[in-house]
Amino acid sequence: MEIPLLNDIVIIFGLSVAVLFACHWLKVPHIVGFLITGIIAGPYGLGLIRAVHEVEILAEIGVVLLLFTIGIEFSLEKLLRIRKTVLLGGSIQVLLTILVTFFVVNRLGQPVGESIFIGFLISLSSTAIVLKILQERAEVDSPHGRTDLGILIFQDVIIVPMILLTPFLAGAAGRSGEFFFIITAKGIAIIGFVIVSAKWIVPRLLYQIARTRSQELFMVCIIVICLSVAWMTSSAGLSLALGAFMAGLIISESEYSHQALGSILPFRDVFTSFFFISVGMLLDVGFLFEHPATIACIAVGILVLKSCIAGLAAFLLGLPLRTAILAGIALGQVGEFSFILSETGIEHGLLIDDTYQMFLACSVLTMAATPFVIALSPRLAELVLCLPLPEKVISGFSPVAEIEAKTKKDHLIIVGYGVNGGNVARAAKFANIPYAIIEMNPETVRSEQARGEPIFFGDATREAVLQHANIKDARIVVVAINDPASTRRITEVTRRLNPKVHVIVRTRYLQEMKSLYELGANEVIPEEFETSVEIFARVLAKYLIPRDEIEKFVTEVRSGGYEMFRVLSRDTTAISDLNLYIPDVEIDTLRIGEKSSLAGRSLAEIDLMKKFGITVLAIRRNQEILPNPKADMPLFAKDVLYIIGSPDKLAEAAGLLDNP
């Protein structure tokens, strides 16, 4: 039996392989490749796809899974921290975009209702594209990434009132007002359900599922939670994507979030590709070729307009100008929910055929341009900052009070007060090391200032901010932020302002190391490799490698720039291999404690062979190995004895360490 959808899926993925392979060699983002695939295979291209509606359903599932994984990685705690961005930043961005679009479109001759509706369409940005790119660039937790996420969440919520207001704009109000209050009540009820589920229901359910140790059962349970919450929000008139994000927030509050994320990622990547392909399928290539100049001008105008308005919203939140520019540029495209809203507009006669195709063409172009624009955004921000602007504009309009740096010399400067920055600050406080913290989250700065932390608001990519922290007299600078572009900029500026300061940079990926070293970093700590180092160190410990050998090995790995792990010395390898070939004999190490009764006595006096039947093969003293020690050799505190014997005798001898 022929299955049309299966044929279309084979065609889609087969064509995607070819297009994505070409995009890889041309250094074109894969999102653009999926859009091109949709254009080629769609009804307005070669017409290879017949089950268009089914592909759109698969695309919707992709958006749901994408928002679900983002919710898992985020958490309710983080969401509460950006509530100001969601409510204030989102409302400013949406309302200003609607007002400006209405003014422009109405001046071009469109009726009031259609002008407002087009403002609705333009005000929404692509949650799927923006967050996908931010995830790939490891910038979701950066200041501009958090700002973008907050505004996008507001957009996902505001689409519900937009859908309800559409009949009013068309002059057919009906009972929309009554429906609005009903849906609002349902939305509040669902939010309450999410909070209760996150705290009590889901953690207990996942605990019982995890006890079965069945990966299949756990994966199915996660998918059921995701789709059921999305279905509930959709039934209440809210978007599926918002429900999926809320489902992710529920999972994020449990200790099983990492396992859930790993289970869902393969499904997310497959279904998300359908979304980008389905968007490309909507574009009428013929209409695009008939009006290329008009479509290009409108698309550029949308990108510029939305970027400026979103950047203004971020700036009004108190963020520095550079961060506001990065956040604004990322939100310049038209979003996927605009396509859903446009169907409502067509139903009520607010969009005619030509207007709809113009909207589709411009929207797809803005989506396709988004990866390139975001990649160029750091350079564009730097160009703007080169303009003769007031320092208050560059630093940002922040309600946080400035504090003078109390540390004047040989102090530590910590850039970023996240998990890593906070741990460094606590360690510095414990060791009585003077330090200053630079942070770009106004709420974090305000709360930590109240606790007495030497923290102040500022963008460390600016020379004036680093000078405020007295960079010229600092001994160490630790850069612990989640923005790769800003990290490189801070490293370069720091090295230029103080050639003698020791710069330690934290980065997420190994490929960032070379450029950071070239910019002047003394030490670069890649998170993904530090995990490997810690795991391997524990493996060595289980193979009875002495702690100082392990520390030496780890030091060599780090000093070598985290290149391929080096093998241990031949002596160590031989010792660790010996117990593999002699099953009745084991090799162990015995360290002489400060208060051990062995300290100050010779090997003949302790007579380990007579008492325990074990032999001392060698002694490590400081960095020197003393093989075949003589019987009259005295032992000192901190000596490490390499001993051989039966397992039970070795365990008995180890008890000497506990004796005073």
Q: What string of H, E and C letters represents the secondary structure of 402-435?
A: CCCCCCCCCCEEEECCCHHHHHHHHHHHHCCCCE
Distance CA 630, CA 84 (A): 73
- Predicted confidence (pLDDT) at residue 266 exceeds the cutoff of 60: yes
* pLDDT tens digit sequence for 45-55: 888 888 888 88
Predicted pLDDT of residue 74: 67
Q: How far is CA 96 from CA 101, 103, 123, 311, 328, in A?
A: 8, 11, 8, 12, 13
Q: CB-based burial of residue 1 (10 Å sphere; 0-12 exposed, 13-18 middle, 19+ buried)? A: exposed
The answer to whether 117 and 349 are in contact (CB under 8 A) is no
Look at 150-154, 225-229, 545-549, 559-563 and tell me which has the smallest mean pLDDT. Answer: 559-563
pLDDT confidence tier of residue 308, bands split at 50, 70 and 90: very high
**What global pTM score does this model have?**
0.65
Share above pLDDT 70 across residues of the chain, in percent, rounded to a whole number? 88
Q: What is the CATH number of domain 398-521?
A: 3.40.50.720
Predicted pLDDT of residue 1: 54
The answer to whether 90 and 151 are in contact (CB under 8 A) is yes
Predicted pLDDT of residue 101: 94
- Predicted confidence (pLDDT) at residue 70 exceeds the cutoff of 80: no
Question: What is the rounded average pLDDT of the residues 448-467?
Answer: 86
For the ranges 18-22, 530-534, 545-549, the one whose mean pLDDT is highest: 18-22
The two three-digit tokens of residue 457, written as one number = 């608001």
Dihedral sign (CA 115, 119, 120, 126): positive
The answer to whether 512 and 426 are in contact (CB under 8 A) is no
Instruction: Output phi, psi for 337, to 5 deg.
Output: -70, -15
Distance CA 299, CA 202 (A): 44
Comparing CA positions, the residue from 572, 44, 30, 588 lying closest to residue 281 is: 44
Distance CA 549, CA 536 (A): 13
Distance CA 465, CA 391 (A): 10
Predicted pLDDT of residue 408: 62
Predicted pLDDT of residue 187: 67
pLDDT confidence tier of residue 303, bands split at 50, 70 and 90: very high
* pLDDT tens digit sequence for 388-439: 888 778 877 654 444 444 446 789 999 999 888 888 999 888 888 899 999 8
For the ranges 65-74, 195-204, 593-602, the one whose mean pLDDT is highest: 195-204
Domain locations in the chain as residue ranges: 4-385, 398-521, 569-660
Look at 222-226, 350-354, 496-500, 561-565 and tell me which has the smallest mean pLDDT. Answer: 561-565
- Determine which helix (DSSP H) or strand (DSSP E) holds 477, and give its type and residue range: strand 476-479
- Predicted confidence (pLDDT) at residue 601 exceeds the cutoff of 90: no
Predicted pLDDT of residue 367: 87
The answer to whether 294 and 357 are in contact (CB under 8 A) is no
**pLDDT: which is higher, 324 or 51:** 324
Instruction: Output phi, psi for 526, to 5 deg.
Output: -85, 125
Question: What is the rounded average pLDDT of the residues 8-23?
Answer: 91
* pLDDT tens digit sequence for 170-196: 775 455 555 567 766 776 787 788 778
The two three-digit tokens of residue 586, written as one number = 């084991």
**For the chain, what's the residue count?**
660
Question: What is the rounded average pLDDT of the residues 109-114?
Answer: 88
The two three-digit tokens of residue 585, written as one number = 């004999």
- Predicted confidence (pLDDT) at residue 579 exceeds the cutoff of 50: no
Dihedral sign (CA 313, 315, 321, 322): negative
Predicted pLDDT of residue 400: 44
**If you average pLDDT over every residue of the chain, what do you get?**
81
The two three-digit tokens of residue 62, written as one number = 């992709």
Is 4-385 in CATH node 1.20.1530.20?
yes
Question: What is the rounded average pLDDT of the residues 269-287?
Answer: 84
Question: Can you tell me whether residue 507 is helix, strand or coil?
Answer: strand
pLDDT confidence tier of residue 301, bands split at 50, 70 and 90: very high
- Predicted confidence (pLDDT) at residue 3 exceeds the cutoff of 50: yes
Predicted pLDDT of residue 402: 47
Q: What is the signed CA dihedral for 180, 181, 186, 191, rounded to 10 degrees?
A: 100
* pLDDT tens digit sequence for 328-362: 999 999 987 788 788 778 878 888 778 888 998 89
Q: What is the CATH number of domain 569-660?
A: 3.30.70.1450
Q: How far is CA 309 from CA 159, 414, 626, in A?
A: 18, 32, 72
The answer to whether 68 and 261 are in contact (CB under 8 A) is no
The two three-digit tokens of residue 419, written as one number = 């998990």
- Determine which helix (DSSP H) or strand (DSSP E) holds 53, and give its type and residue range: helix 52-74
Predicted pLDDT of residue 581: 47
Predicted pLDDT of residue 485: 83
Dihedral sign (CA 547, 549, 555, 560): negative
Distance CA 231, CA 254 (A): 22
Predicted pLDDT of residue 311: 94
Predicted pLDDT of residue 177: 55
Distance CA 131, CA 129 (A): 6
Question: What is the rounded average pLDDT of the residues 96-101?
Answer: 95
